[in-house]
Amino acid sequence: EKLLAIHGLHAAVEGKEILKGLNIEINKGEVHVIMGPNGSGKSTLVNLIMGHPKYEITAGSIAFEGEDITALKTFERARKGIFLSFQNPEEIPGITVENLLRTAKNAITGETIKIMAFKKELKQAMETLKIDNTYAARHVNVGFSGGEKKRNEILQMMMLNPQLAMLDETDSGLDIDAVRIVSSGVKHFKNEQNAILIITHNTKILEQLDVDYVHILMNGKILQTGDASLISQINENGFLHLGGDALDSG
């Protein structure tokens, strides 16, 4: 059984068709990368998987562990083990990092995690991400630098331990050391029971990971799927040489 299976997905944002018959299948244990020009629909795709209400499915299906999830709300999908890290994380004044994580973890697992066990797990994850332990008591993202916000996203991923983690340009705007730290957090998280879908333009984040599949998203469809060698081809030649109707802006 596929962890995620998307078939014939058509979707629109504010009446404009963005995805035009997209197929993708992800198994447990796999790392998938999606690359594609700006505006090709990468963020649209992961937001649709997460159930963002702004995006409308006009045809096709999204199944998670064999169950069609298209009617489920975002929090219900999160409870099933789907996680999306945002390109631009929001500030949440009044709520500390630790509180948010504990509340989210309790909500997602449906259990009340023991405080000491939680604190220990949090401390370990923060060490992996080289986040100073004083950040546990700070308000979420308030006054955080860009790099700190992104690391906090990865901290959430590690603590919530989803089955499918989707990272939407989590590495964009990070300096080389921050990318390496984020990358090691992702590597730490990855195991044979979960899967990762990474959207990135920056292949540094992939260096510590075994990438199984690279998909090129153009004009609302997966134009090509290959192994990790596709990444260096794209880096050298860009997207346009792949053909497709690259100039069709829809």
Residue 16 interacts with ligand ADP (CB under 6 A): yes or no: yes
**Among Mg ion, ligand ADP, none, partner that 114 touches (CB below 5 to 8 angstroms by kind):** none
Query: Contact, 230 vs 224, CB < 8 A?
Result: yes
**Among ligand ADP, Mg ion, none, partner that 152 touches (CB below 5 to 8 angstroms by kind):** none
**What secondary structure does DSSP assign to 117-179, as a single string?**
HHHHHHHHHHHHTT--GGGGGSEETTT--HHHHHHHHHHHHHHH--SEEEEESTTTT--HHHH
Can you tell me the distance from the alpha carbon of 83 to that of 195, in angstroms, rounded to the nearest whole number? 11
Q: How far is the CB of 18 from ligand ADP (least distance, A)?
A: 5
Q: How far is the CB of 249 from ligand ADP (least distance, A)?
A: 7
Nearer to ligand ADP by Cβ, of 38 and 134: the residue is: 38
For the window 8-47, what string marks contact with Mg ion as x by the rule CB under 5 A?
Answer: ------------------------------x---xx----
**Among ligand ADP, Mg ion, none, partner that 18 touches (CB below 5 to 8 angstroms by kind):** ligand ADP
List the one residue out of 139, 10, 157, 121 whose CA is nearest residue 70.
Answer: 10
Among the candidate windows 37-45, 76-84, 91-99, 207-215, which touches ligand ADP by CB under 6 A?
37-45
Burial of 143 (0-12, 13-18, 19+ CB in 10 A): exposed
Residue 38 interacts with ligand ADP (CB under 6 A): yes or no: yes
- β-partners of residue 55 are 13
Window 157 to 176, contacts with ligand ADP (CB under 6 A):
none
| Cα separation values, 68 from 6, 63, 64, 189, 193, Å | 10, 4, 6, 26, 20
Residue 248 interacts with ligand ADP (CB under 6 A): yes or no: no
Nearer to ligand ADP by Cβ, of 125 and 197: the residue is: 197
φ/ψ of 42, rounded to 5, equals -65, -50
Could you give the dihedral angle defined by the CA atoms of residues 49, 52, 56 and 57, in that order, rounded to the nearest 10 degrees? 20
**Among Mg ion, ligand ADP, none, partner that 40 touches (CB below 5 to 8 angstroms by kind):** ligand ADP
Q: How far is the CB of 37 from ligand ADP (least distance, A)?
A: 7
**Among Mg ion, ligand ADP, none, partner that 41 touches (CB below 5 to 8 angstroms by kind):** ligand ADP
Residues that bind ligand ADP (CB under 6 A): 13-14, 16, 18, 36, 38-44, 54
